[in-house]
Each structure stands twice: as C-alpha cells, then as structure tokens.
Chains A and B, each alone.
Chain A
C-alpha cells in the first residue's frame, strides 16, 4: 500500500510546538552563523483510486497520473512523500490514515469520494494532531482543493455559444451535452447555463452514455437525423466522448454543422509535436474547438504548495479551485509543451 517515502501548516498544537522548536533551532543556527538546512516535511497522499486504466473524475486521467504529478511536483520542494491508495473503500481509507499516523507524517492529503469515510479519517487524524488537506471531496475541518465542475462546464458552454453566435448567427441551432451526464450534474448544468445565457432560444438536450464512447454514435445519430437543418453544439463530458462525437458527426456527414468541446484535456486529445492529435496547432480548422483543462495530471503542482503553506503556518483559503481553462489548437502547445523534439 505504501510505495515510497519522501514533505504542514499544521494548525494543531503538536505541529505548532514542532514548528516552534524548529524556528528556535533556525534562530540559533543563524545566530552562530551556520547555514541552516532547509526543513523537509513528510506528506502523505492518499489517492482515491489507482486501478490501471480506470479514469477518475469522469475524465480520461487515471489515478496513477495524479500520483505521478505529486512525484514530479515534489522534486523541487522540501517534501518527502508517502503514498497510499484508498481504492474507493472506507475501511481501507481509515487503515491508510492509521498507517500514516504510525509513520508520524507532517500532513495528510486525503482524496476519497466518500463523506462517511472522510469523517472517520478526519476524526483519527485530528486526534493524532496531523493536519489534513482535502482533495475533490470535503473532509470535516480541512481546507479543500477541488475541481470546479460548474465553472468548467460554463467555459465549455460559453465556447460553444460564442462559436455559434459568430459562425451561425440566425441559423437554427441545438445544443447537446453528451457523456456521463448523470454522474456530473454540475458540469452539465454549467454547460447549459452558459449556452442559454448567450443563446436563450437554443434548446439543450442531454444524452447519457454511462461513460461508454461506443454509445455516442447510437445516441447521436438519430438526433442528428432528426435535425437535418440545424447546427449542432456538442459538449462532451470527457475527451473520449468528444472524439467519439466527432467520429459520429463525420459518419453522419454533418461535420459542417457541428462544433464540439470536451472536458479534461487528457493525452487522448492532445499530444506532442509529432503525435498529430485532435488539439494540435496544425489542426485549427477542426470541429473540436477545444477541451476544458482539468489538470489532473498536474494536481500535485497545485496541492503540494498549499500543503507547504499550511505546514509553514500560513493561512490558506477554505477552498481552492482548479484554474480550468479552454485549451484549443491555438494554445495547446503553450499549455502542454511537447517534449518529443530534442
């Protein structure tokens, strides 16, 4: 369960005492003119799920990619990491917290999609004086870093609506949200809100695929056939669905009538200089306008600096949201620099 070891604004008394001692030692070292070594912290990251190939948060990213982002981010920080896999299981999440307590970690990053499980973990860690930083699901008493699904949806919806207003003004237009619509109501609602804000007359329909891209064409084709004279705005809840929607639209001969935006920006939709993926600077006329970045492959770079601030006694916001952004062929290389060109 634990893979490697190596980085709290602990607000607990124990941590404050530890911090005070450390501060006193630093003062002493400065007083005698010695170079004080930078204090290193041990931070535990209990990941939600690391099942190979299983996407998280309704995107194409895996738990392993999230974990790797912590490894990479820690390289330049005074942090040693301890990893746990909660595996979506409350008992396992609690056992992981117990193991981290026994290991005397300085801070615990908890990523577990269970309110009940998180309550138990919070209770144990609080008793042990270990501060907690929650990821994507609230933990009682802990600051939260999380995706903002509603904001991401609004970015996607607005991109589609702007495109329609610019390109198809005055033409009959429909909007579709397709993918895991029931699992991500905030994301879906965000899309619908943004489309209706700019295009109040456009009807927004939902198509549920249960996350199976193979269901996209069977669901989309009849709708396209029923709307032969309409332009179609498609918001896909993930990138695999966006690519499947593109294929379905092309198969229906309606590529000129459609615009698509995905969510996630995983490697299936963007690549390196030689990958020739959908979001590519050389593919600016494609019908996939872009995808809203979720940065799950960079989560460590967002979370660990917050954890360090906590450990150093700084105040952090009760909630910090992922800075979602629309990634298009025009900015994909700036946002995800390719490194397959030495």
Chain B
C-alpha cells in the first residue's frame, strides 16, 4: 500500500515536471502581470471609463465623420492561405420563390473568412510568448478546436474613447528625412523604417497633443497607399512595412493607451530591428500590456483632416462584435470631430 502510494506520489511529481505544467508555472516569468488584476481578460479597454468616454465626447464639435476603414473585398492584401470570401444566397429572387401575397423576397450572405483580414483588431488571444498569453495565461489550457475559452473578444469593453492621429509622413517630411517608396502614389515612409519615440513625440507636438490615459493612437505612415492599390501592389505591401520599434512601443505602453493602429499590416517595423526576433512589438503591446492593435487602418483621410483643421484628436467610433472566443475580428472605424 505504502509502495503504491509512493509510486503515485512519484508519478505526480513526474507529471508536474511535464511540459504542460511547466508552461503554467513559467508564464509568470514569461509575461508581465496585468495591471488590471490576476483574473482580467479585458486588457487596456479597462481604461475606457465613463469619465474617459465623456471627455472624449467633447471631441465632437462639427459632427464630421471620417472613415478609417478599407473595403473588405476580394483582392485586398492577404497572406498565404488567408482568405475572405462571401457567398450570396438569393434563392428567393427565383421566379415563384417570393413569399406571400406581397411577394417578399430576401437575400443573405455566408461569410467564410479568417478574422485577421482587412481593417481588423488583434485581441488578447492573438499573440503570446511560448504558450503564455496576456495576463500570464497558459493558453494551452484554454483552447479547443473552435475557439479560446479565455481572452476572447467578448470580454472587451467599448472603444468609445479619444483617438489621436500622428501624421508620421508629415513628421518625416518636415525633418527632411522622408524616403518614399516609388510605388506609393502619395508620399509614404518606406518599409523597414523604424518609428522612434522622438518621431512619435514630434508628431504629437505638431498638433499640440498630449496623450491621455485611455487614448487610441493611430499612426499615418502612407504605406496604406499600397493597400489602396490592391491587387497591384499586394506583394510589395506584404513584403515589409515602416512601423514602431520596440522603444516606441514601450513608450506608448507607458502612456497607458488603449490601442495602437496604423495603415500597415502589422503596426511594427518589418523587417524587425533584430532579425532573429518575431513581431516583438506585438508581444510588447498585446501580450505584456493588453493594448490592442488595429491593422490595415485607413489613416490618410483623418491625417488630411488634421492637416486642414489643425486638430489631430477625435472621438473613436469602433465596434467589436461580442464574438465569443475569437482572437480578433475585422472592424469598422470612424473618426468623429
């Protein structure tokens, strides 16, 4: 009996040293703890308090709405096996298929799509280090064949907050260091360009903006001009991008923003500063700080608006569906001023 108990104890000890158990305990040293508590699944949207939303509402002065989304349609830049496809069901338009005396007809769609396509939001479950995700979550324990059982989009709060556009093209033009890519029809910052803290600060200073806790920051690099040319420049668009370096990402995290978006497919500089690191800015923002990333955001219109009105702040109108267990989803974003 004693021997059996000893064997059981040894077996348990061996199990506790297995990879699964290792991941669970190791996440505390791999990922930072959330400032919002050990059980938090909401991330930086916790910062969108009623007071933050109310203050942001003061940005609505003229009522002008500026679109910040690209169309989601066949041919936009996607990667490898990624796809987004719609199938229209229009059977009731067939002769005799209408309903009732009033001959009502209907149509609907089947949307077969991966979630990280077009203008989209990266959720907390999108990026981890090993199997450790936001808030030291050992993600291997919280997934099934269909979705995550933790950190899904359903936990996010509203994004009803203030947005800030940083026109990096203008910053680079003013500094005399803009090296545009010949394929861009409008000025753009070339791929591989590292956006620094000094660049961000220069962009904020340009319109006398001081970041506040709860802001969403959007950066106009001009690279989205290649997205707009789809499908002609898809390969170039996907081949790299200008974007945030690690230092700048950490600085933004220190400003306690809710999200960071720009007109590129990954927000961060590609190729990375260190060629042996994969998407380090994603890990800084999402995994360590719970700050959302918005990709393929159309920033040129609001950047132009800021240039003409000298106002780089606005109310963010962005909704994210309560899609249970999803890692991200396409979103529509408007800037209201």
Residues of A at the B interface (CB closer than 8 Å) are: 71-72, 75-76, 272-275, 298, 301, 333-342
Contacts and interface: CB of A to CB of B under 8 A. Distances in A.
Nearest to A274: B80
A80 to B, nearest CB: 12
B279 A339 contact: yes
Nearest to B273: A76
B295 A75 contact: no
Contacts of B265: 342
A2 to B, nearest CB: 16
Enumerate the 7 nearest inter-chain pairs by beta-carbon distance, A residue then B residue, closest first.
A274-B80, A337-B278, A342-B265, A342-B266, A340-B79, A75-B194, A76-B273
A332 to B, nearest CB: 12
A301 B275 contact: yes
Contact of B275 (A298, A340, A341): A298
Of B194, B270, B275, the most chain A CB neighbours within 10 A belong to B275
Contacts of B80: 272-275, 340-341
B277 interface: yes
A339 B192 contact: no
22 contacts: A72-B192, A75-B192, A75-B193, A75-B194, A76-B245, A272-B80, A273-B80, A274-B80, A274-B81, A298-B275, A335-B276, A336-B275, A337-B275, A337-B279, A338-B278, A339-B240, A339-B266, A339-B270, A342-B79, A342-B116, A342-B265, A342-B295
Of B116, B245, B270, B278, the most chain A CB neighbours within 10 A belong to B278
Interface string B257-286: 000000001100011110111110000000
A339 B266 CA distance: 9
Contacts of A72: 192, 271, 275
Contacts of A336: 275
B238 interface: yes
Contacts of A340: 79-80, 238
A336 B278 CA distance: 9
Given A339-B278, A341-B79, 17 more contacts: A71-B192, A72-B271, A72-B275, A75-B193, A75-B194, A76-B273, A274-B79, A334-B276, A335-B276, A336-B275, A337-B272, A337-B275, A337-B276, A337-B277, A339-B279, A340-B80, A342-B79
B117 to A, nearest CB: 10
Nearest to B79: A340
Nearest to A69: B275
Interface residues of B, number: 22
B82 to A, nearest CB: 8
Contacts of A342: 79, 116, 265-266, 295
A76 B194 contact: yes
Nearest to A339: B270
A61 B295 CA distance: 32
Of A72, A273, A274, A275, the most chain B CB neighbours within 10 A belong to A72
Contacts of B193: 75
Nearest to B246: A76
A76 B277 CA distance: 15
B306 to A, nearest CB: 26
B106 to A, nearest CB: 36
Contacts of B277: 337
Of A274, A339, A341, the most chain B CB neighbours within 10 A belong to A339
Nearest to B264: A342
A339 B276 contact: no
A76 B272 CA distance: 11
Interface in B188-212: 192-194
Nearest to A4: B179
A79 to B, nearest CB: 13
A165 to B, nearest CB: 28
A342 B271 CA distance: 13
Contacts of B275: 72, 298, 301, 336-337
Contacts of B194: 75-76
A338 B270 CA distance: 11
A273 B266 CA distance: 15
A1 to B, nearest CB: 19
Contacts of B273: 75-76
Of B79, B265, B273, B277, the most chain A CB neighbours within 10 A belong to B79
Nearest to B275: A298
A337 B62 CA distance: 47
Contacts of A337: 272, 275-279
Interface string B112-152: 00001000000000000000000000000000000000000
B116 A339 contact: no
Nearest to B245: A76
Interface string B275-310: 111110000000000000001000000000000000
Nearest to A73: B275
A305 to B, nearest CB: 12
A339 B265 CA distance: 10
B131 to A, nearest CB: 15
Of A333, A334, A341, the most chain B CB neighbours within 10 A belong to A341
B300 to A, nearest CB: 20
Contacts of A341: 79-80
A338 B265 CA distance: 14
Contacts of B81: 274
A339 B272 contact: yes
Contacts of B276: 334-335, 337
A226 to B, nearest CB: 42
A71 B270 CA distance: 13
Contacts of B279: 337, 339
B176 to A, nearest CB: 13
Nearest to B120: A342
Interface string B194-233: 1000000000000000000000000000000000000000
A74 to B, nearest CB: 11
Nearest to B117: A342
Nearest to A297: B275
A72 B277 CA distance: 14
Nearest to A295: B275
